[in-house]
């Protein structure tokens, strides 16, 4: 199964980075289109390309349902086609967040709300135009073609130049050239203004919201920011019975879905625990911050949170990495999880992992054991390193050493037999 992403905004001027930030880390391939979501599927070539690329068992992934489109009928056609082909849909945010392999009420409702929101934006735009006209202002976008450019387009066309050549020469789009030529043929046909503007050409405000935003994305972004502020105010320390969670905090995200998001001691959001989904609807699932499932089927939220904490500590470097004493170019490194276990990884001058040394306490005395092999590769061979005869720093009956330096030296010599004795 692969995640195939779809990014959509309505115009070339709108930014797609927020959607790419959510989809790029988890998707095998991401398709992008800059076209209105109200159009029919056949009029959206990038969507058609994505639909032809995706295969049975894959998931078409979008940040929010309205990225699929803001036309309820066309959205349902797309979904029905995908479901009949054995392809699911994954939504990262919003009321329909989750994986869908068949029609559902919540999915239909999300599409209907997206269409309704588009109609609401159109209504506000129309009301704003009427209000602007009543105040004596002329609505519409700022003209792209002034009198000089218009004259240049017409004269170049009379000389027989192609539309693409004209567009490149005058530095406007092909569409603008088409529109200018059409207006020249029907000069008395009035333009339909798109949005009211003030005297200086700014987009006029409608009911406190700017016209021309990404179909309400500014409002959605502001809502998410407010949700995060409320969520951070409610953060509380993770229960003490979750191993290694000291300094971690969590709280339920205030969107009504009951997702328990967790932050690291430095404030980074590391993921969330969520109940439901799949066959075991009451089980808990751990998700990465961007929505990728890490592990499911856990009986309690505490277990899911513990999994989030463990994975975060497994990949986060500790601050007390050190040089290997007496071994120029060799390094001792740790993740937070390794620091919890008093374990170090030994890295040779070429950047390869020689193995690990770990401190133990046996019968009231501290000792160090060494293990060869790359600890990051669970499938690789790992072996205990044992002291050689005559090693004065060794504890022979425990196959260990009295100091970390002695264990590190033995591990280095095991990894690189040619290493010269100091």
Of 10, 36, 52, 173, the active-site residue reads 10
Could you say which DSSP state residue 16 is in? -
- Virtual CA dihedral for 172, 173, 177, 183, nearest 10 degrees? -100
Torsion sign across C-alpha atoms 79, 95, 265, 225: positive
Q: Which residues, 6+ apart, have CB-to-CB distance to 337 below 8 Å? A: 244, 310, 313, 314
* Number of residues that make up the chain: 422
The gap from C-alpha 361 to its chain's centroid, in whole angstroms, comes to: 43
Rounded-to-integer distance, Cα 409 and Cα 299, Å: 44
Question: How many C-beta neighbours within 10 Å does residue 360 have?
Answer: 13
340 contacts 347 by C-beta, under 8 angstroms: no
- Burial code (b: 16+ CB inside 10 Å, e: under 16) for 241-261 equals ebebbeebbbbbbebeeebbb
Between CA 39 and CA 10 the distance in angstroms is 10
Annotation says 10 is catalytic: yes
CA 84 to chain centre: 28
Would you say 323 and 331 are in contact if contact means Cβ atoms under 8 Å apart?
A: yes
Coil, strand, or helix at residue 81? helix
What tokens appear for 108 in the block?
């239909």
User: What is the edge-to-edge ordering of all strands in the sheet holding 284-288?
Assistant: 236-237, 249-252, 260-263, 269-275, 284-288, 293-298
What is the spatial distance between Cα 196 and Cα 198, in angstroms, rounded to a whole number? 7
Cβ neighbours for 135, distance < 8 A, ≥ 6 positions apart: none
Residue 215 near residue 121 (C-beta atoms within 8 A): yes
Active-site residue list: 10
């Amino acid at each position: 199964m692969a995640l195939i992403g779809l990014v959509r905004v309505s115009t070339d001027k709108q930014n797609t980075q927020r959607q790419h930030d959510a989809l790029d880390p988890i998707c095998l391939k991401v398709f992008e289109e800059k076209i209105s979501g109200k159009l029919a599927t056949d009029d959206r070539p990038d969507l058609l390309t994505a639909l032809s690329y995706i295969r049975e068992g894959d998931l078409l992934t979008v940040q929010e349902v309205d990225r699929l489109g803001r036309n309820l009928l066309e959205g349902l056609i797309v979904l029905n086609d995908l479901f009949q082909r054995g392809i699911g849909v994954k939504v990262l945010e919003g009321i329909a967040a989750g994986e869908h392999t068949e029609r559902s009420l919540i999915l239909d409702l999300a599409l209907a709300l997206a269409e309704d929101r588009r109609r609401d934006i159109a209504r506000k735009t129309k009301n704003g135009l009427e209000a602007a006209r009543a105040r004596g202002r002329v609505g519409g976008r700022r003209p792209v073609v002034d009198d000089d450019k218009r004259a240049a387009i017409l004269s170049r066309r009379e000389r027989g130049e192609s539309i693409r050549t004209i567009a490149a020469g005058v530095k406007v789009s092909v569409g603008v050239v088409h529109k200018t030529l059409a207006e020249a043929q029907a000069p008395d046909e009035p333009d339909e203004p798109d949005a009211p503007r003030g005297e200086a050409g700014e987009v006029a405000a409608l009911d406190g919201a700017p016209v021309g935003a990404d179909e309400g994305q500014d409002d959605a972004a502001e809502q998410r920011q407010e949700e995060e502020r409320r969520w951070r105010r409610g953060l509380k320390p993770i229960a003490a019975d979750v191993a290694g969670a000291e300094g971690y905090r969590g709280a339920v995200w205030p969107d009504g879905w009951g997702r328990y998001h967790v932050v690291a001691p430095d404030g980074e959001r590391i993921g969330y625990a969520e109940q439901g989904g799949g066959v075991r609807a009451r089980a808990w699932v751990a998700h990465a911050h961007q929505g990728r499932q890490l592990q499911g089927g856990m009986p309690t939220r505490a277990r899911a949170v513990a999994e989030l904490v463990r994975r975060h500590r497994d990949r986060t470097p500790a601050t007390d990495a050190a040089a290997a004493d007496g071994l120029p170019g060799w390094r001792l490194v740790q993740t937070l999880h390794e620091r919890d276990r008093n374990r170090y990884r030994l890295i040779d001058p070429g950047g390869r992992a020689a193995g690990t040394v770990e401190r133990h306490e046996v019968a009231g005395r501290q000792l160090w054991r060494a293990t060869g092999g790359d600890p990051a590769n669970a499938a690789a061979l790992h072996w205990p390193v044992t002291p050689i005869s005559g090693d004065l720093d060794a504890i022979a009956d425990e196959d260990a050493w009295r100091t970390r330096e002695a264990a590190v030296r033995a591990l280095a010599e095991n990894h690189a037999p040619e290493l010269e004795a100091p």
